[in-house]
Amino acid sequence: MSAKFGLEEPRGRKLEFFLWQDADGIGPEPAFQHCWDQFPERDIIILHSDMAPMPNDRSNHWYDALLYYRSKLPRAGMLACNLFYPPGRPDEPWRVQCAGGTFREGQIGHTHGAVQKGGNAAAEGVPATALRNVRAVDWVTFGGVLIRREVIRACGPFDDRYRWAYVMDVDYCFEARLRGFQLFQVPVALQHQAGRTTRALWETDPQLREHLSHNFQLFSEKWRPFSAALPPIQVKPNGR
């Protein structure tokens, strides 16, 4: 990560990184919690080891933009970047990996796909106009996200009934929303070579796949009675 973000260069010295490796395999969310506990008075930004600035971002502008939106949206508890898959070949287009979480009829989903530059609302993909705006969302993925310390103080630790990996970030977002915090996707971009961290492990480990099933079942049972109590999504203006 040091090279990708230029931590030894002038462009990277403004980034107050705390690098920590999950050598014991405790899982992503417990690792995030361990890291944010080191700085009990600070807002935090979570980045995965397989993330990087976009190729045309040579000054870590993503960081400055994220802080800008933090100041412009004081009611936002979490501010999430739009994440893109880097193309496998030079002639391939960039694709959106995640531009906000959805929760419809009890199903967890997320906005993803090819960037849609035209005005055809029926076409598959993500409209480019959406990526240029601030959007309220049901949940945000815990990578490329700024979380205010007030959220962590209000929600406390992750629900320890969950097992290793997945769903815990969605659960935490719902806990934040129940406490009145708003969640936004902001027009800040990062690239994410997703699938190089937890996915590679649970795809080859039957026990971890069982944890995944357990987590989805627990999430469904926990939130089914309370989903109607979640504050409605309120669309906010762009802010720029």
Q: Are the beta carbons of 66 and 45 closer than 8 angstroms?
A: yes
160 domain-assigned: yes
Kindly tell me if the per-residue pLDDT of 90 is higher than 60. yes
Q: Are the beta carbons of 144 and 32 closer than 8 angstroms?
A: no
9 domain-assigned: no
41 domain-assigned: yes
* Residue 87 vs residue 113, higher pLDDT: 113
Bridge-based pairing state of the strands 76-85 and 182-192: parallel
Q: How do residues 155-207 score in pLDDT, each as one tens digit?
A: 999 999 998 778 999 999 999 999 999 999 999 999 998 655 555 555 666 66
12 domain-assigned: no
235 domain-assigned: no
Q: How far is CA 69 from each of CA 48, 78, 115, 135, 239, rounded to the nearest angstrom?
A: 21, 10, 23, 12, 8
Does the global pTM surpass 0.85? yes
Q: How do residues 97-118 score in pLDDT, each as one tens digit?
A: 999 999 988 889 999 999 988 7
pLDDT grade, residue 210 (50/70/90)? confident
Q: Are the beta carbons of 141 and 37 closer than 8 angstroms?
A: no
Kindly tell me if the per-residue pLDDT of 209 is higher than 60. yes
pLDDT grade, residue 239 (50/70/90)? very low
Task: Domain of residue 81: give its range.
Answer: 17-229
The chain-wide mean pLDDT, for the chain, equals: 88
Which runs of E-coded beta strand occur in the chain? 44-46, 51-53, 76-85, 95-98, 101-104, 107-110, 113-116, 126-127, 135-136, 145-147, 182-192
Kindly tell me if the per-residue pLDDT of 52 is higher than 90. yes
φ, ψ at 221 (rounded to 5°): -65, -35
Best CA proximity match to 80, nearest among 95, 96, 56: 96
Q: Are the beta carbons of 189 and 95 closer than 8 angstroms?
A: no
5 domain-assigned: no
172 domain-assigned: yes
Q: Give dist(CA 197, CA 219) in Å, integer.
A: 22
What is the arithmetic mean of pLDDT over 44-61?
95
Q: Are the beta carbons of 115 and 123 closer than 8 angstroms?
A: no
Which CATH number characterizes residue 79's domain? 3.90.550.60
Tokens matching residue 9: 């260069």
204 domain-assigned: yes
Determine the residue type at 96.
V
Kindly tell me if the per-residue pLDDT of 224 is higher than 50. yes
* Residue 237 vs residue 125, higher pLDDT: 125
Kindly tell me if the per-residue pLDDT of 68 is higher than 70. yes
Structural domain tally of the chain?
Answer: 1
Find the distance separating the first CA and the last CA of the chain, reported in whole Å: 30
